[in-house]
Structure 1
Amino acid sequence: MTSTKQPSDTNFTLRRPVSDRAALLLLSLLAFGLRVYHLTFQSLWRDEVDSIRFAARALPELLRMFTKPGENGPLFFAALRPWLAVAGQSEFALRYQAVLAGMLAVPLTYALARRLIAIGSNGSWQFPHGLTLRNVPLIAALLVATGPYLVWYSQEGKMYAVLTALALAACLVFLRAVEEGRWWQWLL
């Protein structure tokens, strides 16, 4: 007797169709275009100038400065330091790291939405107007690609876009750790 093994719902729904990959690529390019358009239209804000100043400080001084209550954490500025050393300290260079982080948020959102749907889907969700669960990750990615505040924060040389991308990545790693039971992923 031979058995035909059917893919589980989770494995089946986590597979990305070619059309989704093409759409995700287009959404990522759209996100890039929206974020890089007029990137240097405005001069640096005071907060962005502070980012450059803080990143230029020696690490021990940076750590001491941010141990005071009410100050921002030093991790972003410590990571910004090598970026500015390579890319330069122009308005474009400072803001471009946020553009890349904001663009990265698009596929991360898509991946997170697909994984959440795979976990919670039992086929009982009904959407109006012919929408299906398959559309939800692309719609979520579209909203992140075109959301005005996300575009705006991806054009500032601050930590907002980087934190967004890191939070999405942390959610994905957490879900994988829970699903697969790998203890080392909890460390990430």
Structure 2
Amino acid sequence: MELRGERIILKNLELEDLTDRHRWLNNPEVTRFFTNQGSFPLSQTEMVQWFNTTVTRSQEEIHLAIWTNHGKHIGGAQLKAIDWRNRGAELGVFIGEISEWGKGVATEATQLLLQYGFLTLGLHRIWLRVDSENVAAIHCYQKNGFRTDGIFRDEVYRNGGFHDSLVMSILKEEFMISINQDEKK
């Protein structure tokens, strides 16, 4: 699968992509706001096992690699915990190449995932969890129409203290309204 944007392409995650992903997920600067911080660092063997058991076999997860249109692998994006009955999924996006931070790439990747989730998969609700201190990510999600549903208080233990996570979501009808408004501009 390939989802093309103006500056990026989301492609199925391949085994060859794990070298970059391993480097990124073992960089504390990249993972500092991850809500599943206890999962890192990861060995290359653990990454390959995860790929073989989850990425290649799961009907409830779609893992993609983010590439620039110039052929540079820069991050990952996923829809996971896909609930086909209730038509919902959890969205995740990360930019592993720090030199690409602040360029709107995560916003574009989120937009592409929303389009795919709502228009191709027929999902009704897409949600996410984000560290309450990750201002850039929260701005990215709000820009894409996500609303805050609630707060998981003291959910993540990091650097000697507990931190809140926000739960945010967007419904298909809200996404469609935002697309229609963008087309009118």
Q: TM-score, normalised by structure 2?
A: 0.24
From the two aligned structures, give the one with the greater helix fraction: 1
Larger CA Rg, structure 1 vs 2: 1
More relative contact order, 1 or 2 (CA 8 Å, 6+ apart): 1
